[in-house]
Every structure is written in structure tokens, then in C-alpha cells.
């Protein structure tokens, strides 16, 4: 699952209604990726890790920090301007006048440097002669954000996802060299607001904060954070692993507040919005919630491509954008293998909540505890 940012704005509606309404009717041949060839133009989502796994925060519960330990190359280096040009050229050639989502993530993507992003955005704008509909977003811990960065994001209409795992107590573990990060993150958010940059909040839910769902929601609401994404911890560190019942209670608590405020507050929670989309339309905008995975291309620091943020390991290397086209990467043997191993498990087919769960994200479906948690939540909430 990609940690995609919740875009509850007019931009989201424009992008999703055009993007997904076309896809839902097109996708008949299951051997092709969902983003592949829509006639006059193509649609594509990519993630770029411009600084590989490098990070200036080092959260112990970071899934990518664990993931890189399971592969032969721990650090793929930092994107060069030359590589950025190659990627942009090939992606725009593939998309044409279609829809393109580019997400920058890490590690911490801003470690690639201001100059890299300034060059990337400028080159993208110059080369987009076919007028592809481009959505830019970036996930950050906020530690390097200042007015200069914020103005760059504003100029290029970049949606910024800020990692903040709750109120001050829930975020108390985020300490670097003895400095508590919570005040610095809030200062970065203040700057983004001052410069009128669109942003949302991304929170990892783990053993240490799972019982503070109500407090976290109310704190975020009080601070005026309107777009929230709660991401359950995926690793196996016993200090952070979620208990199924605790996580179910977190979902129940936060959904009750979300439902209470639905018509009176701008506060939205991406996961719950997507459940409502599934009920109303039959499909969701969030990766991993439509019943099967698609190989959203992830590019590491040297151009190496993977099919998913959760599968950036040796067996899922698709190739390298320096040497292969986007089509070749999407239709590579590892990409086909990735798609063929996604989909419903047998036990899911008889589940009473299949219409809203769809079997879950491929990565989360590896844990029975998430299945148990969601069954408790669904039985309580969607009676």
C-alpha cells in the first residue's frame, strides 16, 4: 500500500471522478495493469524516493526502515538531476494527455535538497507539452520545512503530507538527539498554513498511541487539521505491534467522532471516507481498498523500480527506468507476478463484510490480526 495523501479538495474530485470513472469501465483484461492504455492517453501513479531510505528522524516504527534491512541494497543513493529528467521524459511520453500522480516519499524526501525539487518541478512543467493532468504530493516529517520550501510547494501546487502521530503525548517517542520533535512539526505546519500550502496529517497507529484515538482526533480537530490519515503499524517489533481488539476500538472510537462531525466539521478521515465511497460507488480512491493490487511504480534513488511501496525488496525489482520504458516496467515478469498474487483469499469469499473490505491491502492481509480487528469494527459500525 502506498502511503498516498488524502486529497479532500476540489482537486481530488476533479482527479478522481475523471480518473476512476474511466478506469472502472475500462479494466476488463485482468492481465493488464489498471493504469495501462486508455486509448488516447494513459493514467499513471508513481512514487519517487529521491533520497532512498535516508531520514533525519529515524522513527523506530518506520516500515521502510525495516524493509530496507531485508534487501541487498540498503541505500540506493540520491536522485540526480539527470535521472530526474530521464524519468520525467519517459513518464510524460507514456501518459500523454492523461492523468499523472507523482508522490515523493522516503525515508525523508526533502533530504534530496531544495535544488533537486526546484529542478524537478521546473523541468516537469517545461516538458509537459501534452498538458497531462499532474497531481504532485510529498510526504515529510516536516523537520526541514521553512518558508523557502513552503513557497516552492505553493508555486507548484504540491500537496504536503506531514507525519504527526497524534497529540503531544502520543508523539512523545519522536525524539532526535534529545530534542522532542512535536513543537518543530507544529512550526512546520504553521509555515505551510501561512504560505497557504495544501497539507494533511499522516499518523502511524501503534501500541503506544492506539488507546488515544479520541484524544488524538479531538486534538487534531482543535488545531484545525481537516484531512487525516491513520496508518496502522506493520512491523513485528513487540513494542509497537497492534493488538486486534485495541485497534478495533481505535477504529470504533474515531469513526464515532467522524460520524458525529460529518455534517458540521471539515475534519475527514481518509479510510472512513473510502468506506463510504465503497458503499455508494462500489470502488475506493485509496490504494489497497478495491480488492486487488496494481503496480504503482516506485522509483528508488538510482532509478530502480518496484511495484509497491511495501514490496521494495530484491524479488520485486522490475528493472530500472534508465534502461527500460514505463510499459516495459509495468509488463515485466515481477510486475505480473505481483498482480497474480494479489486478490481475495479463500476465507474472504464467504465473509459478510466482503463488499466493504474487498479482502484488504495485500500487505495487511498477511496478518490475521487486522482481519479480526476489521471484523469487530464492521460488526459494530455497519450493522
> In what order do the strands lie in the sheet containing 304-306?
268-269, 227-232, 199-205, 158-163, 133-140, 99-104, 44-48, 297-299, 304-306, 319-320
CA dist 15 and 6 (Å) reads 12
| Cis geometry, peptide bond prior to residue 131 (ω within 30 degrees of 0) | no
Catalytic residues: 309
Nearest to 297 by CA among 288, 286, 306: 306
Among 104, 94, 89, 93, residue whose Cα is nearest residue 135: 104
Q: How far apart are CA 205 and CA 303, in angstroms?
A: 31
Residue 199, number of CB atoms within 10 A of its CB: 24
Full DSSP string of 7-22 = --SHHHHHHHHHHHHH
Specify whether the CB–CB gap between 348 and 357 falls below 8 A.
yes
Amino acid at each position: 500500500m502506498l502511503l498516498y495523501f488524502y486529497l479532500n479538495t476540489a482537486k481530488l474530485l476533479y482527479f478522481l471522478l475523471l480518473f476512476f470513472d474511466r478506469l472502472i469501465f475500462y479494466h476488463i483484461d485482468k492481465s493488464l495493469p489498471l493504469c495501462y492504455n486508455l486509448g488516447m492517453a494513459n493514467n499513471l501513479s508513481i512514487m519517487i524516493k529521491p533520497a532512498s531510505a535516508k531520514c533525519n528522524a529515524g522513527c523506530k516504527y518506520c516500515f521502510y526502515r525495516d524493509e530496507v534491512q531485508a534487501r541487498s541494497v540498503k541505500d540506493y543513493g540520491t536522485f540526480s538531476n539527470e535521472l530526474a529528467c530521464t524519468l520525467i521524459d519517459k513518464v510524460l511520453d507514456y501518459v500523454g494527455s492523461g492523468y499523472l500522480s507523482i508522490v515523493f516519499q522516503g525515508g525523508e524526501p526533502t533530504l534530496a535538497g531544495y535544488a533537486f525539487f526546484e529542478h524537478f518541478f521546473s523541468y516537469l512543467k517545461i516538458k509537459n507539452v501534452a498538458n497531462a493532468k499532474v497531481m504532485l504530493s510529498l510526504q515529510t516529517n516536516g523537520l526541514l520545512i521553512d518558508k523557502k520550501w513552503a513557497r516552492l510547494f505553493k508555486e507548484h501546487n504540491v500537496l504536503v503530507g506531514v507525519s504527526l502521530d497524534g497529540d503531544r503525548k502520543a508523539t512523545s517517542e519522536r525524539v532526535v538527539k534529545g530534542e522532542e520533535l512535536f513543537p518543530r512539526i507544529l512550526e512546520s505546519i504553521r509555515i505551510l498554513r501561512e504560505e497557504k500550502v495544501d497539507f494533511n496529517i499522516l499518523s502511524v497507529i501503534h501500541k503506544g498511541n492506539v488507546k488515544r484515538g479520541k484524544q488524538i482526533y479531538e486534538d487534531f480537530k482543535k488545531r484545525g487539521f481537516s484531512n487525516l490519515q491513520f496508518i496502522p503499524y506493520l512491523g513485528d517489533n513487540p513494542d509497537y505491534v497492534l493488538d486486534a481488539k485495541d485497534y478495533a476500538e481505535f477504529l470504533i472510537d474515531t469513526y464515532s467522532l467522524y460520524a458525529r462531525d460529518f455534517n458540521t466539521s471539515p475534519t475527514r478521515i481518509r479510510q472512513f471516507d473510502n468506506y463510504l465511497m465503497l458503499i455508494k460507488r462500489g470502488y475506493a480512491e485509496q490504494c489497497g481498498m478495491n480488492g486487488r493490487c496494481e503496480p504503482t511504480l516506485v522509483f528508488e534513488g538510482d532509478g530502480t523500480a518496484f511495484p509497491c511501496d511495501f514490496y521494495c525488496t530484491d524479488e520485486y525489482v522490475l528493472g530500472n527506468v534508465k534502461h527500460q520504458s514505463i510499459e516495459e516496467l509495468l509488463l515485466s515478469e515481477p510486475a505480473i507476478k505481483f498482480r497474480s498474487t494479489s486478490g481475495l483469499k479463500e476465507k474472504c469469499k464467504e465473509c459478510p463484510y466482503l463488499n466493504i473490505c474487498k479482502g484488504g491491502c495485500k500487505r495487511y492481509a498477511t496478518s490475521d490480526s487486522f482481519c479480526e480487528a476489521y471484523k469487530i469494527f464492521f460488526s459494530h459500525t455497519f450493522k
